[in-house]
Chain A
């Protein structure tokens, strides 16, 4: 492998790993936000029924 081959291998691995982490984090965050919204809505409706 030539010098540029090593350079592109390093840059490729690093930016792919960071992109994958960012996408995974985004998905985890969206899932948690949905779960929290559903939980809040169900607790609100329970409160309304009780009152």
Chain B
């Protein structure tokens, strides 16, 4: 058991170190190496944060969806811990996406915020997962809270295709996607130096995400063991 624990700590240490390298490389590429955009100038560098942040948030809510479905099906605590951990970090990355978009929007659109379909749906996504986290902390009956949160987690994930397609379905101020376009490959649409900066930042964000998720998951496991031991002692 001690050996497994040591290996796990070591692998998390490696993951943390890899995430740090990825993030530093991303900062170098995004701030210093990539050229400024022909139309937007230097402000476009915010995209090297904005796009990886929202893609990481999507990944996180996909894990919430998977964890929630598995929990409702099998009722295993590990699936619930995965969903809860992913929801917490996903909410953070969604909030950061909105902040980055707002800072980019001021010099580009002339406003910090507008009730554009994509922006509004992203704000709704954040509210759903803020509700998810509040639901976990407000209810005393843990199994009921986990089940209700799992249903909310599944509903929340359904907002993501709406966010992605909103720029096609409605007339929005937000431009169509540059990377996840159905009609064009990213390399046909984005300058190679900018695409490289974006890819490095995305890898850095994903590594950082899995590092944070592994720590948050461990916290969930420990809290469960504490609750089980306290329950055992009281009985």
Are A39 and B226 closer than 8 Å at their CB atoms? yes
The yes or no answer to A13 lying at the interface (CB within 8 A) is yes
The yes or no answer to B218 lying at the interface (CB within 8 A) is yes
The CA-CA distance from A9 to B59 in the complex, in Å, is: 26
Secondary structure call for the A interface: helix
**A38–chain B nearest beta-carbon distance, Å:** 10
- Of chain B, the residue at the smallest CB distance from A17 is B96
**A7–chain B nearest beta-carbon distance, Å:** 5
**B214–chain A nearest beta-carbon distance, Å:** 11
What 1/0 mask marks residues of chain B from 191 to 235 whose CB sits below 8 Å from any chain A CB? Answer: 000000000000000001000100110110011011001100100
Are A7 and B43 closer than 8 Å at their CB atoms? yes
The CA-CA distance from A44 to B155 in the complex, in Å, is: 44
Are A7 and B216 closer than 8 Å at their CB atoms? no
Instruction: Give the contact-size bracket for chain B.
Output: 20 to 34
Are A17 and B92 closer than 8 Å at their CB atoms? yes
What 1/0 mask marks residues of chain B from 1 to 38 whose CB sits below 8 Å from any chain A CB? Answer: 00000000000000000000000000100010000000
In the assembled complex, which residues on chain B have CB atoms less than 8 Å from the CB atom of A28?
219
Known A-B contacts: A29-B222, A32-B219. Give 17 more (CB < 8 A): A4-B42, A6-B43, A7-B31, A7-B42, A9-B103, A10-B99, A11-B27, A11-B49, A14-B96, A14-B100, A17-B92, A18-B208, A21-B92, A32-B222, A32-B223, A36-B229, A43-B229
Interface residue ranges of B82-136 to A (CB < 8 Å): 89, 92, 95-96, 99-100, 103-104, 106-107
Are B222 and A33 closer than 8 Å at their CB atoms? yes
